[in-house]
Amino acid sequence: MDVDLILRWLHVIGACVLLGTGAGIAFFMLMAHRTCDARLIAHTAGVVVLADLLFTATAVIAQPLTGGLLAWRLGWPFSEGWLALSLGLYVLTGAFWLPVIWIQLKLRDLARAAAAAGEELPARYQRLFAIWFSCGIPAFAAVLAIIWLMLARPDLGIWLIR
Question: Residue type for 8, please?
Answer: R
Contacts of 21 (CB under 8 A, 6+ apart): 51, 52, 55, 56, 59
User: What predicted TM-score, i.e. pTM, was given to this entire model?
Assistant: 0.88
pLDDT bracket for residue 45 (50, 70, 90): very high
- What gap in Å lies between CA 53 and CA 95, rounded to an integer? 16
pLDDT bracket for residue 160 (50, 70, 90): low
Q: CA dihedral in degrees (32, 34, 37, 43; nearest 10)?
A: 10
Q: How many CB atoms lie within 10 A of CB 124?
A: 11
pLDDT bracket for residue 1 (50, 70, 90): confident
Read off the pLDDT of residues 70-90 as tens digits, 9 standing for 90 and up.
Answer: 999 999 999 899 999 999 999
- Of 108 and 159, more confident: 108
User: What average pLDDT score do residues 100-129 get?
Assistant: 97
